[in-house]
Structure 1
Amino acid sequence: MKLVLVCFFAFSNIFLLNSQSVYGNVEYKSKINGSFISEDVINKEKDKNLRNTLNFLNSSIKNNQNKFVFVLDFNRNVSVFSMNKILNVDNDTQLKYAIITNSGKDIFYQNIISRKKIKKKIMFGEEFNIVSNLDSLKWELTREEKKIGKYNCFKAITYLNKKTKIEAWYTTQIPFGFGPKGFGGLPGLIIELKENNIIYFANKITLKTNKIFEIEIPNTQNTISIEKYDSIGRSAKSRLKKM
């Protein structure tokens, strides 16, 4: 198995060095598989107000999911992923909740040279550039495969934590290790990704030749670690509870 992977990566590197395709663009859409928050979780909640909030969140996502379009731009070394801007959001509370839940205000960067990924996020009116290691997630490459459009795809699995399982379908036909929401590091482009009950799927893939496409990565001097960011978030939540 190791020999196969070594041979594959060697072939991929040769492909990247000689291929004329130096820039790619993928349009992703998303859909809900069932409910974002399970009915069991909602029904077990004793607080009526919180139950109503969870139901409102579920309906917000369900009613607005088809409005979202995400774009992944990449060259050989870096990528950026974000949601296309939606107009007239301020007067639609459900839409605003759905955008936040889908990380619609966040921007995700990957750099396969430095092996870093950065998430640009706004929290409590302040901008954070959260940096983490691209190799921090350990993918399990399975033997499962399926055809998505014209691409032969393979399944990979990883876990963000004990409760969050990530399933990715990637294709070696496009040997660029990028994907939605900062997920990547696989032997090919992620065509479909499932995080909790939200599925992101490639709706349109464009590979362009003989074009240099530069992606500006946030300055690493203005970044914080994911551990520091989580600490700030916990402190902020603690202060809110005491108010």
Structure 2
Amino acid sequence: MVTIIRFIIVTTLTLATFSASAQNFKGEATYKTKRKVDIKLDSTQVNSEMHQKMLEMFKKQFEKTFILSFNKEESLYKEEEKLGAPQPSNVQMVIVNTDESDILYRNLKEKRYTSKNEVFGKIFLIKDTLPKLEWTFEKETKNIGEYTCFKATMKHMVPIVTGGISINDDKDLKANENKEPQMEETTITAWYTTQIPISNGPARYYGLPGLILEVNDGTETIVCSKVVLNPEGNADIVEPRKGKVVNQADFESIVEKRMQEENERRESNRNDDDGGHRIEIRIGG
């Protein structure tokens, strides 16, 4: 009888220890991003050498490294700090992406997120509820590093990414600036691992029964290059708190209005331009 009681006590303590460990579970995942964007350039305005330099410069803008800090209920996704390459003084590149955050906090338990974005020098905090992502589970599997991953897909409407160069008075580009972006249906493909049983992932992706290690939406690829579980000295996940609070719809309206104001300002100053080049890319929203 004594032996049985002792066994029950030991088992209970073991389960309690495991439960406490699960509650304190945390980790960091490093992701690399790349984006495929086609820019049509007029050969009468830009020679082949400048064309290539601009394409390389643009490509670098989307090759980034992000860190996802996570626990069972929360995550924080932000770009790894690094020094950017200098941009040529005669080239102005404007990239507006309402789908990408400077810092993205997600609370799965409370089904909400906070996105910190800086637009034209002003900081916004976009606070909204997490939408339910309609994933379809597929049969394929593959290995990413040491993890076995399962495939899931989702249909999604996205804007067609376009770009151009405005040299002096480019009326064709000006006419396109005020057009609504064309939309197309794309298939988002994600690979997740149940070996890390959290329903989280990079950027705007979550909602699968394991950490998402790779995702592709047809133009952008996000791939995990490293996972560290229960790292020592890992900072707590802190929700961003500084900035003007708006919801997602209001934020997109504000960005659209500011873009129109910038276009009008640029038009009024067009006669003062020094012949520099401008690349403008709109993504999302």
Counterpart amino acid of residue 87 in structure 2: D
Contact 2:100–2:203, Cα closer than 8 Å, also in 1: no
Counterpart amino acid of residue 177 in structure 1: S
For normalisation by structure 1, the TM-score amounts to 0.72
1:10-32 Cα offsets, whole Å, 9 max, x none, are xxxxx987637611111112345
Give 5+ residue unaligned stretches, structure 1. Answer: 1-14
Shift of 1:174: 0.7
Q: Distance in 2 between matches of 1:165 and 1:223?
A: 32
Which residue does 1:126 correspond to in 2?
A: 122
Shift of 1:97: 5.6
1:53-202 to structure 2, matched below 5 A, reads 58-63=55-60, 68-87=64-83, 89=85, 91-93=86-88, 106-158=102-154, 159=156, 161=158, 162-163=183-184, 165-202=187-224
Contact 1:132–1:226, Cα closer than 8 Å, also in 2: yes
Structure with higher RCO (Cα < 8 A, 6+ apart): 2
Which residue does 1:25 correspond to in 2?
A: 28
Counterpart amino acid of residue 60 in structure 1: M
Which residue does 2:38 correspond to in 1?
A: 38
Contact 2:132–2:207, Cα closer than 8 Å, also in 1: no
What SS does structure 2 have at the residue aligned with 1:181? Answer: coil
The count of residues paired between Structure 1 and Structure 2 equals 218
Give 5+ residue unaligned stretches, structure 2. Answer: 1-17, 159-182, 266-285
Contact 1:107–1:120, Cα closer than 8 Å, also in 2: yes
For normalisation by structure 2, the TM-score amounts to 0.62
Q: Percent identity?
A: 28
Counterpart amino acid of residue 200 in structure 1: I
1:132-170 Cα offsets, whole Å, 9 max, x none, are 332343222222322212222122223253435432111
Which residue does 1:223 correspond to in 2?
A: 245
What SS does structure 2 have at the residue aligned with 1:177? Answer: coil
Indicate which of 256, 274, 277 corresponds to 1:234: 256
What SS does structure 2 have at the residue aligned with 1:118? Answer: strand
